[in-house]
Structure 1
Amino acid sequence: MAERKMQALVSTGAGGLDEVLRGGLPASNLYILQGAPGSGKTTLALQFLRAGVAAGDRCIYVSLSQTKAELEAIALSHGWTLDGIRVEELSASDAVNGATDQTIFQTAELRLDETRKAIETAIEEHKPSRLVYDSLLEIRLITGDTPRFRRELIAFKAFLAKRNVVALLLDTQVPDAQHSGEEVEGIAHGVICLNKSLEEYGAIRRRVEVSKMRGVPVADGYHDMAIREGEGVVVFPRILPGAAAQTVKPQLIKSGVDELDAMFGGGQESGTTTLVIGQAGTGKSTMASLYATAALKRGESVALFLFEERIETFFRRSEGLGMDLRQFHEDGQLIISDFNPNEISPGEFGQIVQQAVRGENVRVVVIDSFTGYLNSLPHRDKAVRDIQSLLKYLARAGVLTILIVAQHGLLGQGVGIDVDVSFLGDTVLLLRIMEHDGRLRRSITVVKKRHGPHDLDVRELFIQSSGVMVVPYNPLPEA
C-alpha cells in the first residue's frame, strides 16, 4: 500500500472513473481503451486530454481514423474546444508521400514505416505528457499479420516509456471478439472496456469495466455510465457499503402519530429499512409522507425519490392531509426528485442517493415506489442486488429508508414484482383494505421487525384531511 501511495496518478477526466481506479491512471504507462463504435471512446479520450490541459500538461491527439474537423465537432457537441490539444491528423492509407505507385511491392511495409515516423516526429517535436492514439484498427489493417502488429505495439510502448508519456490507445476490437492471438491486453499496463447494449425497451445501457490495471486494486466489475451533453462520459461507480460514514448509534424515529409509534415499540430505528406493502389506496405513500413530515419538523433533512408520482401531485396529496411540505422543499431541507425510470440506471440512481445523504443531514430516505422502479428495468434481479448494496450504505449512515412496495391488482393479491424483496426489509408494514358493513376499512399491521418489540395486533387506519389516526380495529368506530 505504501508503494501505491507514492505512485503518481493522472486523472482520466471522468471523476467516477477516477474513483473506480482509486485516484486515476498510474503515470508514464500505456493503456488501451476498448469499445464498439459509439460506445464513447473518442469522448472519453478528449476528456482525458482536456484534464491534462487543465493540469498544465502538453497533450497530443494522433488520429488515423478521424479528421480534426470531426474531433472539433465532437468537442463542440459538449461545449468544449480543442484549445491546448495538438491534433496530428494522419492517413494510414496514404502515409507514403510520392510512393502511391507502389501497389505490389512493400506498400504495406512502407505505409507502416512512414506512419510510425510521422507519429514519432510529432511526439519528439511537441514533447507531450499525454497522448491519445486513434486507433489501433488502422495499424492492425496495415500490418496484416499478428506478430508484426504485436512488435509494432511493443516498440511503440518502449518509445513512449522513455519519454514518460501517458498514452491512451483506442481500439474498436471489443473483448468478446476474435483476437487471432494478438493479446494486445497483455502488452498494455491497463485496459478499460466501454460496453453498450440496447434492451427491448428504453434507452441504451452503457457500462464500463476496468478489465486490467497492474498494481492497482480497482473496483472491479461493471459500473454504469452515461454520455451527457456538456459532461461527456459520466461513470457511476458501483456502491460499496463500506464507503459510508461509520455506523452511528441507533435512534428512535417517530412518525408524529403516537398510536403508530407504539406499534413499533416506541418508533422505528435509524439505520434500518422499512417495506410498506399494500394494494392501491391503502395509504402507502401517506405513511412515507407522515415520517417525512415528522423528520422535517424535528429539523432533520429528508430525501424523497419518486418513480410514479409527479412532484406537484405529491405536494397536493400531502396538503390534502394537512402536511404542507412546499416550504421545506424551497428551504432545501426536503430533497425531492422524480424520475422517468426508463432513463436512469441503477448505478446512477445509487449515486444520486449517496450524494443526497453525503451533502445534507438526511435522516429519512423514501423511495416511492420501489415496485415502479424495478418494473422499468430489464434485469430486475440484478437491480435488487444493487439496491441491497445501497440499503447497506444507508444503514451504515444511520438513515431510516422507507421502500413503498405495491401489490398486484386493485385488491392486491401478492407483491407486484416477480423477485423476492422481503429480505430487504428490517421492518415490514402491511396495509390492507377490506369490506365491513357496506364500507371499506383500511387496516395496518407490523408483520416484521428485526430489532426490538412490536405490536402484532391488526389496527384500523384512518386517513382524513385532519390527519392520520390509528385505532383498535374493533369495534367499528362511529361515523
Structure 2
Amino acid sequence: MSEQQAIERVPSGVPGLDTILSGGFPKGGIHILQGPPGAGKTTLGNQICYHHAAAGGQALYVTLLSETHARMLLHLGTMDFFDASRLPEQISYISGLGALDGDGLSGLVTLLRREIAGRKATVMVLDGLVAAEDRAASDTEFKKFIQELQTQAALYGCTVFLLTTAKGQAIPPEHTMVDGIIELTDVRFGSRTERGLFVNKLRGSDYLAGRHPFRITAEGLMVYPRIEAAFREVTRPDEARSGRLSTGVGGLDAMLGGGMIEATVTGLLGPSGIGKTSLGLHFLGGSSATEPGLFFGFYETPPRLVQQAASLGLDLEGAIARGDVEILWQPQGEELQDALAHRLLDAVQRRSVRRLFLDGLGGFIEASVEPGRMSRFFAVLVNELRARGVTTLYTMETRDLIGPGIQMPITGMSSMVESLIAMRYVEHQRRTCRLLSVVKVRGSGFDPALREFIITGGHGLRLAGSFEGAKDLLSGFARERGGPDPSSSISEGP
C-alpha cells in the first residue's frame, strides 16, 4: 500500500475540493485556510464543520478577532449546509479572545486543549490566527504555539484548520510547520473578478496544482477543478473505433467517407447564419436510446431550438420527451470556463451520451479569463470525450461573412480534431449561395469538392451538388470561368 493510500482523510464536503485534495485533508494534521477579507475563509471553515457533523463527527469552532457568533450564525442561516439541530451537541462555537488577552498564547493553548478533550472534537477551526500571531513576542514563540497545536491534534486525532489573512511575508513562519496550506483569492480580470483556490502545500499527499476557480453560492463553496489538471490523464482507457455515425445529411455522409468516425471530434466552421446549428440538429436527429444525444449550447433557448428543428422536419420535441436527447442551454454571462466543462462532462456521464453537439466553442472562449490556456483546455477536454466514446460535433463562428480565408479563433485547433467541415457564403449571379466542403478527415479518404447546399422548410439541409461553371468560389465572389484565381486559406487565430 502506498503512502498516499495509507493516509486517512477527512473529507471537506465541498464539491470539487476533495477531488483536488485526492480525497480530503490528511487526518490529524494542521491546515491553513488563507486569503484576503471576503475571500470565503469563514464560509469554507463552517462548511467543513457542518459536513463533518453530518457524517457523525464532532466540530469545534473557535473565534478570536472576528464577527460575533450571533452575526456569524445569522449569515450562515442563508446557507443550505447550515443545520441548527447540530448546535451545540455536534458543533460548538466558543471565543478564545479572553484567554488570549488574559494569558497570551499559552492561555489560548490551554483553552484549546481543554475544549478539544472535553468535547471530543475531531475537527477544530481557529478563526483569526492573525490575532494570535500579533500576540507573539517573536517568530520563535509563534512557532512554539503552532507546535503545541500539532501535539494536541495528534494526541486527540483532531484535524485543525487555521483561518488567517496573509500579512505579506515571503514565507510566514507557520507555513514551514503546518501540513496543508489552502489559499483563496479573488482576482480582477478587466471588468470582472474570478475567485480562485490554490493548494500551496499538502504534506505527504498528491494534489491538483494550479488555480481552481470557485463560486460561493447558497450551497456554500463550489470548486471546479481545473480541467487540464483534473483530466490530465483520461478517466478510462482510450480505444480506436472504426464505426461511423451519420450526420443526418446523406450527401455529407458520402463526402466524409461514410459518416463521422465514432468517438472523434469534428469541427464545423462558418459565418453567422450559414446553417451550423441546422446541421447540428440533423446530427442529433440520429439519437436514440442506444445512442443518447446532448445539445450543449449558448445562443438558442430550448423552445427556439425545438421550433427550429420542427421547421427542418425534425422531431426534436419527441426525442426530448423519449429521453433520447437532452438540451443544456448556458445563458451567456460571467460563466466560469471550468464550470462549463464540468457541467458538460457530468451530463455526458449521467446519460452515457454518444452524440454531442457543442454549439458553439465561442461560449467557452468568452468565459475564459486566460485566453492563453484555451488550446490546452480544449485538447484535454476532447481527449476525455473521446475516451468516453462520445462523437462530438462542435461549431466555431468565423469572423467574415464573405471572404477568401477562414481564420480559426484558437491557435492549434485544427490539429486537435479528426475532421473539419467548412461552410461559407459565395455571391454568384446576383444571389447568395451556401457552400460546404470537407477540409480534413484524419486517417480516411474524403470528397474535397465544394458543394452547394440549401435549407428548406420541412426538408432541412441537403446538398444540391457540385458548384459548377464558376471560378473564384473561395474569394466569396464567384465569377464565370476565365482569368486568374485568387488565393484562399484556412488559418489559425492569433
TM-score (norm 1): 0.89
Task: Quote the residue 1:447 is aligned against.
Answer: 439
Describe the superposition over 1:61-93 as per-residue Cα deviations: whole angstroms up to 9, x where unpaired: 011123211221232121313522100123269
Q: Which residue of 2 aligns with 1:107?
A: none
Alignment correspondent of 1:10 = 10
The residue type equivalent to 2:397 in the other structure is A
Q: Structure 1 residues 314-323 or 330-339, which shifts more?
A: 330-339
What RMSD over aligned residues (CA atoms) do the two structures have, in Å?
Answer: 2.2
Note the C-alpha offset of 1:265.
0.6
Question: How many Å apart are 1:242 and its aligned residue?
Answer: 2.9
Query: 1:223 corresponds to which residue?
Result: 212
SS at match of 2:223: strand
Q: What is the CA-CA distance between 1:433 and the residue it aligns to? A: 0.8
Question: What is the CA–CA distance in structure 2 between the aligned matches of 1:149 and 1:66, rounded to whole Å?
Answer: 24
In the alignment, what sits opposite 2:186?
196
1:404 equivalent in structure 2: 395
**Structural mapping, 1:45-444, within 5 Å:** 45-64=45-64, 65-79=66-80, 80-82=82-84, 83=86, 84-91=90-97, 95-96=101-102, 110-173=103-166, 177-179=168-170, 182-202=172-192, 204-229=193-218, 231-239=219-227, 240-250=231-241, 251-296=243-288, 299-411=290-402, 414-415=406-407, 417=409, 419-444=411-436
1:218-277 C-alpha deviation (Å, 9 max, x unpaired): 122222221111x11111123315343332452211123221101111111122111111
CA contact (8 A) 1:57 1:128 kept: yes
**For 1:331-384, what per-residue CA distance to the aligned partner results, in whole angstroms no more than 9, with x for missing partners?**
333221122343321211111111111111211222212124313433222233
State the alpha-carbon separation in 1 of the partners of residues 73 and 50 from structure 2: 13
Distance in 2, Cα, partners of 1:338 & 1:269: 26
CA distance in 1, matches of 2:443, 2:173: 54
Maintained 8 Å contact 2:139/2:173:
no
User: What code does the residue aligned with 1:135 have?
Assistant: G
- Preserved contact between residue 112 and residue 143 of structure 1 (Cα < 8 Å): yes
Q: Match for 1:473: what amino acid?
A: S
Give the 3-state SS of the residue equivalent to 2:121 in structure 1.
coil
Contact 2:401–2:424 (8 Å) recurs in 1: no
Report the residue type matching 2:96 in the other structure.
Answer: L
Following the alignment from structure 2 to structure 1, what is the Cα–Cα distance between the partners of residues 323 and 334? 25
> SS in structure 2 opposite 1:49?
helix
Q: Which amino acid aligns with 1:351?
A: H
- Give structure 1 stretches of 5+ with no counterpart: 97-109
Residues 131 and 167 in structure 1, CA contact (< 8 A), matched pair in contact too: yes
For 2:150 and 2:278, locate their aligned partners in 1 and report how far apart those are by CA, in whole Å.
Answer: 62
CA apart distance, 1:411: 2.7
CA distance in structure 2 between the partners assigned to 1:4 and 1:198 by the alignment = 36
Q: Deviations over 1:286-342 (max 9, x none)?
A: 11111111234x742112111122222222222111112122223333221122343
Aligned equivalent of 1:99 = none
Q: Runs of 5+ in structure 2 lacking a partner?
A: 470-494
Contact preservation (8 Å) 1:274, 1:426:
yes
Q: What amino acid maps onto 2:95 in structure 1?
A: E
Amino acid at match of 2:46: L
* AA aligned opposite 1:225: F
Paired with 1:78 and 1:395, the residues of 2 have a C-alpha distance of 38
Residues 336 and 367 in structure 2, CA contact (< 8 A), matched pair in contact too: no
Is the contact made by 1:300 and 1:363 (CA closer than 8 Å) also made in structure 2?
A: yes
Matched residues in 2 for 1:340 and 1:145: separation? 53
* Partners of 2:287 and 2:325 within 8 A in 1: no
TM-score of the superposed pair, with normalisation by structure 2: 0.87
Distance in 2, matches of 1:92 and 1:258, equals: 79
